[in-house]
Structure 1
Amino acid sequence: MRIGINPAKENKEISIESYHRVVIPVYIPNLNGYFVNSFEIFKLCLESILLTIHSKTRITIYNNNSHKSVKEYIDSKYGESEFVDQVFHSKENLGKINAILAASKGNLEPLITISDADVLFKQNWQQAVEEIFLNIPEAGMVSPVPSSKVYKMFTGNNWYYGFFKGRLLFQEVVDSVAMHKFDLSLGNDKLMYEPIHLKKYLVLKNKKNSQEAVMGCGHFVATLKRQVFDYGSNQPAFVKIVGGVERSYIDTPNEKLGLLRLATKENYAYHLGNHLENWMYEEFKKLKKEQLDSNYNANDFKYTPVSKFGKFIGKILLKLISKSKFLRLKILNKLGLNFNSY
């Protein structure tokens, strides 16, 4: 039987001070072989976040059946840091996307940063990302790591915006060394970036306030408006990190909602991979703990998609640019790229 009235029913409204959540799925099943350095790298990741976020941020860590030592470390951070306010422990590895969906759909913040557990964040990454959302309210996905090769990846809305509401132009890459480091961190036999990609990237500009951002982004670390998860898929992912699963749950919903996909011009985070190197510690030592406050709140980050007409036009533009090399080079040359391949 129940006696009395649950006091929670007296106060029905839920209000939170935070407006930005960081979600980190972690899978480190053992401490040898492929994962021999992964625990130390995860520590660098989490500590770098704690050193660089402002006071209206909260962190969710989703432990996908990691080693006991990793679990104990996560629990210790939950106990000592006010910013790590949610920890999930799963006895099965449910995959990155399901971890992200569980965290994002159960929280109220309008901005949700998803990050792999091998990312080192730099000072001011959060301010730079939020500035793009504020000044380009059509943005739905913003990464603190620019790439010069993703301007054709789920960017139909960008192309419409660039031609009809803003401006598109090629600019010099701000930090080509960091971009090359990212390329090396992937461990591929062949490097992704050619020399021209390290010199120029395509930039989208808001003509009203002059805010600039790089066209497109990846998703090993990116901040998204929560609507991307709310109106994405209601189905769980039955594969882990293969088969284009991130496209289905992140990329496609962002584009279908009429939102832009962008990145900061400067590099504000590093992909570390699974092998420790001295430069990682050197970069970490540069970080300093500051009492960072924010003057913004949840209402400042509006959901402002492009129109249905804009989505339609953007889809056509992207299709033409992707399929016709001749047309693509003509357009890119007109935007300031004097090169015969990009």
Structure 2
Amino acid sequence: MRQGINPSKTDNRIQLESTHRVILSVYIPNLEEEYFKHAEKVFKLCLESVLYTSHDKTRISIIINGCCKEVEQLIYSYKEDYPLIDQVFYTKENLGKINAIYSIVKSNLEPLVTISDSDVLFLKDWQDETYAVFENFPEAGMVSPVPSSKGYLYSTGSTLYYGLFKGKIRFRDVQDPEGMDNFQKSVGSKLYDPIHLQKYLVISNPKNREAVIGCGHFVGTFRKEVFEKSPTKVCEFRVQGGSEEAYLDDPNDRSGFLRLATLGNFAYHMGNTPAPWMWDKLADLKSFEKSNLQTYSIPSAKPLSKLAVLVGKFLWVNLFYRFRRQFFGFLGMKEKY
């Protein structure tokens, strides 16, 4: 028999102090295979870098997505020691990256959510610089603290429309070529030609504030509104298979939001093997005074109109992608880009 009144019925409004959620999906099934041999150390670098560089209104969700016992115990020990970690989700089997993060994304209440791989080293000021892009471009729905010279190639129809009709598009010098070079080294393949480490494509607003056009998947911050137009069915792929495009990139573009990145490099992709410089970076972060971190009020979303989205998609598919070399030549790019 039920006795009394559930107090939640008289105080049923959800009120959050947090403004930003970081989601880390971790898949480390063992520590014996060559690929996973150093994965635990890399994840520790990632998690500690988030903890040392995030302001106190940040909350961290960790998904144990088919991990071995050693990693499970490590995650729960961090949860006990660090209040910023307020959610740990456990699944015995690997549900895949998208299904794992969507288990949190769909119930997320914070206005901003950062989705990150578990091998990312966050640097100080990554939140400040990301927020600055949202502030300068209230039309932005996805912002990465890691610029990519080739990010313009993917799901940027709405971004292209904005650049052509509301702002400006141009090439400018890459602020941190070493950051992009480290990224291609971390994945073990050549992603960029020399020109891509020298110039990237940027967009500017009417006040001449700039951001890099496009970004990659391994770390990005989203407005929660982006996921209102995301697929509702379960993702059939563990990784790749177009899953990140369908569940992360396309909803942002279809919603009329810009896909951007910071001009500077404020995070590193580490790969599966730690290097001495990574520990040096982490040591610097440990001495960083967190009281210097600020929280910001992100301006309300201003997505482009449905007509602008359609025009942007048409221009991207039928004109920009086919004739981008001619367009880049008009912008002054002499080399093949």
User: What residue number does 1:305 align with?
Assistant: 303
**Residue correspondence of structure 1 range 223-238 to structure 2 within 5 A:** 223-238=221-236
CA gap of 1:244–1:5, structure 2 versus 1, over 3 A, is same
Q: Structure 1 residue 4: deviation in Å?
A: 1.2
**Residue correspondence of structure 1 range 216-295 to structure 2 within 5 A:** 216-287=214-285, 288-295=288-295
User: What residue number does 1:296 align with?
Assistant: 296
Counterpart contact for 1:101–1:229, Cα < 8 Å: no
User: What residue number does 1:203 align with?
Assistant: 202
CA gap of 1:328–1:110, structure 2 versus 1, over 3 A, is same
Counterpart contact for 2:139–2:304, Cα < 8 Å: yes
User: What residue number does 2:155 align with?
Assistant: 154
Counterpart contact for 2:148–2:180, Cα < 8 Å: yes
CA gap of 1:206–1:323, structure 2 versus 1, over 3 A, is closer
Counterpart contact for 1:63–1:71, Cα < 8 Å: yes
1:53-97 CA distance string (max 9 Å, x none)? 111110000001211111111111111111001111111111111
User: What residue number does 2:170 align with?
Assistant: 169
Distance 1:91 1:323 in 2: 42
Counterpart contact for 1:55–1:291, Cα < 8 Å: no
Distance 2:21 2:205 in 1: 26
1:19 aligns with 2:15: no
User: What residue number does 2:72 align with?
Assistant: 71
Distance 1:309 1:254 in 2: 15
SS in 1 for 2:72: helix
Identical aligned pairs, as a percentage?
Answer: 47
Normalized against structure 1, the TM-score is what? Answer: 0.94
SS in 2 for 1:319: helix
Q: Return structure 1 stretches of 4+ with deviation > 6 angstroms.
A: none
Single out whichever of 236-245 and 166-175 deviates more from structure 2. Answer: 236-245
Counterpart contact for 1:152–1:318, Cα < 8 Å: no
1:147-177 CA distance string (max 9 Å, x none)? 0012121101111100111111100000111
1:328 aligns with 2:304: no
User: What residue number does 2:313 align with?
Assistant: 315
Distance 2:226 2:99 in 1: 14
Single out whichever of 173-182 and 279-288 deviates more from structure 2. Answer: 279-288
SS in 1 for 2:152: coil
1:6-65 CA distance string (max 9 Å, x none)? 011110111111111000000001012210110000000000000101111100000012
Distance 1:146 1:117 in 2: 18
Gaps of 5+ in 1: none
Counterpart contact for 1:146–1:214, Cα < 8 Å: yes
Distance 1:223 1:296 in 2: 14
Q: Which amino acid aligns with 1:216?
A: G
User: What residue number does 1:180 align with?
Assistant: 181
CA gap of 1:321–1:177, structure 2 versus 1, over 3 A, is farther
Q: Structure 1 residue 108: deviation in Å?
A: 0.4
Distance 1:247 1:335 in 2: 28
Single out whichever of 105-114 and 306-315 deviates more from structure 2. Answer: 306-315
**Residue correspondence of structure 1 range 53-202 to structure 2 within 5 A:** 53-188=54-189, 191-202=190-201
Q: Which amino acid aligns with 1:238?
A: E
Distance 1:244 1:295 in 2: 34
How many pairs were matched up? 334
Distance 1:42 1:277 in 2: 13
SS in 2 for 1:23: strand
Gaps of 5+ in 2: none
